[in-house]
Amino acid sequence: MSIKVVFAFLCACLFIGCTSSSDMDQWIKQNDKIKVLSTTAMIDDIVGQVGGERVDHIPLILGEIDPHGYELVKGDDEKITFAQIIFFNGLGLEHGASLRYALDHHQCAIAVGNSVQRAVPESILYSEQNMDPHIWMDISLWSYIVDPIADTLVNLDPLGADLYRRNAEALKKKMENEHQAIKAAFAQIAEQKRYLVTSHDAFNYFTRAYLASAEETEPSQWNKRFDAPEGLAPEGQLSTTDIQQIVDHLIRYQIKVVFSESNVSADSLKKIVHACRQKGLQVEICSEHLYGDAMGCKGSGAENYLNMIQHNADVILKEWHKEER
């Protein structure tokens, strides 16, 4: 059994800590509320803040499970059938065959990422001709999903229109304030220190939004500030070339700390750190992990969307401030 299979199994075991049967029991209870299923917790959190008490909502993909290749498990069919609305990320994120089929055949499945792409097509990033689906890593981009979610709820529940619109406006203002605060915090770090290496290719949008300088508007300029050994979906096997590329990047920019992610094995980073030390660069893996494809469980400090992004910023900033001292 491969290390990645074992790691995926361990992640699945975390379901117990991140959800409960009572959540599902409440969701399927017959009442006047709209039943909304979201593929990821990042979408579900926005649905809850917009829908308020008029909506019953749950995420499909729970805990630390990787959403990229997610396949339906026992109980998922019931959730999908019961849902009046399904919101999913799109942009190639949910590419597991069984989930993809279910989304394609549901009466009301809406890709929130498509709304972002329509609104600001120039903001969507690509990697080897594949769209980068991790748009939630930039708060200003993720805010574009708020109005489409509100519009969908209004269409299904016109009596709640005032509530949905009011909640949506308040949430967008809060998101903009958080976005600007994180940008300002990173602007206090010297440019030569703002180089990020994580487990997989989930932080491109985060890097462009918060780490790049004002002059670095083109990908060829800002993307040097981020690298990762694994691609957009952390599913492949690393080659020695992949490892050497990151080692060269770390040495070139004298990067001395790398960051693991909550739902990705840190084995690749350990190999990279070992290789760097053999070449004389002392690199450490941060003791706190970041959240890329999954929000944290209750008590993690990253259990809602904005807390998740703020947690990532806080962890990175703390490490970089250590280096400046």
Q: Answer yes or no: do 192 and 160 share one domain.
A: no
Q: Answer yes or no: do 122 and 230 share one domain.
A: no
Q: Which of 140, 128, 40 is nearest to 90 (CA)?
A: 40
- Report residue 10's pLDDT band, with 50, 70 and 90 as the boundaries: very low
Q: Answer yes or no: do 205 and 287 share one domain.
A: yes
> What is the predicted pLDDT for the residue at 262?
87
- Given 124, 153, 176, the domain boundary residue is 176
Question: Which burial class, exposed, middle or buried, applies to 279 when counting CB atoms under 10 A from its CB (0-12, 13-18, 19+)?
Answer: exposed
User: How far apart are the two ends of the chain, measured CA to CA in Å?
Assistant: 44
Q: CATH number of the domain that 159 lies in?
A: 3.40.50.1980
Q: Answer yes or no: do 200 and 319 share one domain.
A: yes
Q: Answer yes or no: do 54 and 203 share one domain.
A: no
Taking only the tens place, the pLDDT of each residue in 184-212 is 999 999 999 999 999 888 999 999 999 99
Q: Answer yes or no: do 197 and 158 share one domain.
A: no
- Residue keyed to tokens 């010297």: 190
Domain assignment of residue 224, yes or no: yes
More confident residue, 9 or 93: 93
Structure tokens at 312: 């990532």
Domain assignment of residue 296, yes or no: yes
More confident residue, 234 or 274: 274
Cite the beta strand spans of the chain per DSSP E. 34-38, 55-59, 85-88, 109-111, 126-127, 130-131, 196-197, 226-227, 257-258, 284-285
Q: What's the average model confidence in pLDDT over 62-89? A: 93
Please say if the pLDDT value at position 132 is more than 60: yes
Count how many domains the chain has.
Answer: 2
Domain assignment of residue 227, yes or no: yes
More confident residue, 256 or 64: 256
> What is the predicted pLDDT for the residue at 276?
95
Q: Answer yes or no: do 227 and 295 share one domain.
A: yes
Residue range of the domain that includes 153: 3-176
> What is the predicted pLDDT for the residue at 128?
82
Domain assignment of residue 182, yes or no: no
Domain assignment of residue 183, yes or no: no
Q: Answer yes or no: do 224 and 313 share one domain.
A: yes
Q: What's the average model confidence in pLDDT over 148-160? A: 97
Please say if the pLDDT value at position 2 is more than 80: no
> What is the predicted pLDDT for the residue at 7?
44
Q: Answer yes or no: do 26 and 76 share one domain.
A: yes
Domain assignment of residue 47, yes or no: yes
Q: Answer yes or no: do 133 and 107 share one domain.
A: yes
Domain assignment of residue 181, yes or no: no
Give the mean pLDDT of the chain.
89
Would you call 46 helix, strand, or coil by DSSP? Answer: helix
Q: What's the average model confidence in pLDDT over 286-293? A: 94
Please say if the pLDDT value at position 51 is more than 60: yes
> What is the predicted pLDDT for the residue at 300?
81
Q: Answer yes or no: do 262 and 127 share one domain.
A: no
Domain assignment of residue 257, yes or no: yes
Select the highest-mean-pLDDT range: 139-143, 237-241, 291-295. 139-143
More confident residue, 60 or 229: 60
> What is the predicted pLDDT for the residue at 5?
39
Q: Answer yes or no: do 91 and 163 share one domain.
A: yes
> What is the predicted pLDDT for the residue at 64?
83
Taking only the tens place, the pLDDT of each residue in 19-43 is 555 666 666 677 889 999 999 999 9
Please say if the pLDDT value at position 16 is more than 60: no
Q: Are 225 and 194 in contact (CB under 8 A)?
A: yes
Q: Which of 140, 146, 222, 144 is nearest to 182 (CA)?
A: 140
| Confidence (pTM) | 0.90
> What is the predicted pLDDT for the residue at 21?
58
- Given 156, 176, 196, the domain boundary residue is 176
